[in-house]
Amino acid sequence: MKLWSKENSNTSQIVEAFTVGRDKEFDILLAEHDVLGSLAHTKMLESVGLLSKEDLIKIQEGLTEILNQIHQSEFTLDPDVEDIHSQIELMLTKRIGEAGKKIHSGRSRNDQVAVDIKLYLRSEILKIKEEAKQFFDLLISQSEKFKDKLLPGYTHLQIAMPSSFGLWFGAYAESLVDDMELLSAAYHVANKNPLGSGAGYGSSFPLNRTQTTEILQFESLNYNSVYAQMTRGKTEKIVAFALSSIAATLGKLSMDACLYINQNFGFISFPNELTTGSSIMPHKKNPDVFELIRAKCNRIQSTPNELTLLINNLPSGYHRDLQLTKEILFPAIEELKSCLQLAGLMLSNISIKDHILDDEKYKYLFSVEAVNELVNKGVSFREAYQQVGNQIDKGEFNFDYKKQLHHTHEGSIGNLCNEQIAQEMNKVLEKFEKK
């Protein structure tokens, strides 16, 4: 059943199947937000004289009942209903009669779905923020716990200089700080109200868009009715960029973990129940969780580009192409939340090998330490570099690499600055609340 159906108008079943596509699958995620939008819209309609008080009471009671169904997971989309907007309006009309047919005054499905998506994205961004903050706290905690566990640092995948698990965990914690900067920016873009823009050109009704903005607790509104429609696709793309930044951090961490668990490195391990085996090789403990996080996060990082290719050549105004943004972005949101959760599970159960750098093969990690020791004795850096380099070339380098390292500057092995990194994260989190 379609809200736009007219007498003697029918759509071919093959056309209908093609145009609806997977839309219902993702529309169900918008159900709560569609009802909330209608509650705000109808309250505004009554305040400007487009609904009677009696009709408003019926409508609000009926919509609240539908909202309760949604919260209790008792809501479904009927097979013959086109979309979530149709389903809710038709359900309401069945419950309360003719008054249910009045809720669409002053709006189009264009601004209805736009506000639904904004409300959905705003809600999901806050969930991701909480997941990311929990993962951040774990990284900081593990950084402090393992700050004295040394490991080799690499450049070009060649042994470079001494590092530590304190530095390693802390690096990804600070990476999340920058990721959350993008997420907070995306939140503010999503937190603007497009409702009342209609099909994209406003309405002759005396709508009070400020009122719906306040009821729905939006930070502001998309003022220009044409631009309110142009935010479809653009908002999703901006959110996707923020998701892709977090995904990049998780993907890189996962690649490190896959290397470090490899027997040729052997730096870390996990309980058997968090790894998988081989059908033929009984010795295998595969890091499938990290491999799948890496793969899923690579796919999430493709989302902004996919959205760009979808919307890039569209002129202003609404186009059915925009329907597909949901099936691109919504699964990416769910994937990112699960990746954050599973990465947290893995790192909560990590075991780290002791005395990694005692292995003879890592002695060249300390070549810079040897150079710096000579500099501290008054030798110029360039001369010290040549002396140590010559010793290495001749196989005569025997610096006592087992002695304690003294790295004290900000962000080094001996001064992780985790407290300062946590303060930076708190500053970013405060931006989600600013209006």
pLDDT tens for each residue of 147-162: 999 999 999 999 999 9
Q: What is the mean pLDDT of the chain?
A: 92
Q: Is 50 exceeded by the pLDDT of residue 4? A: no
**CATH numbers and ranges of domains, the chain:** 13-102 (1.10.275.10), 122-358+409-431 (1.20.200.10), 360-393 (no CATH)
What is the rounded CA–CA span in Å between residue 298 and residue 349?
A: 24
* Helical H segments across 217-324, by residue range: 225-261, 288-301, 303-311
pLDDT digit string (tens) for 271-307? 999 887 666 776 778 899 999 999 999 999 999 999 9
Q: Is the pLDDT of residue 1 over 60?
A: no
Q: Where are the alpha helices (DSSP H) in 191-224?
A: 209-215
Q: What is the pLDDT of residues 72-105, one digit of tens each?
A: 999 998 888 888 999 999 999 999 999 999 999 9
Of 183, 185, 189, 187, the closest CA to residue 231 belongs to 189
Query: How would you classify residue 291: left for phi > 0, otherwise alpha for psi between -120 and 50, otherwise beta?
Result: alpha
The mean per-residue pLDDT over the stretch 390-399 comes to 89
Share of the chain above pLDDT 70, in %: 95
* Closest C-alpha among 195, 225, 219, 200 to residue 322: 200
- Asked if 285 contacts 260 with a C-beta cutoff of 8 angstroms, the reply is no
pTM score above 0.85:
yes
Report the chain's C-alpha Rg in angstroms: 29
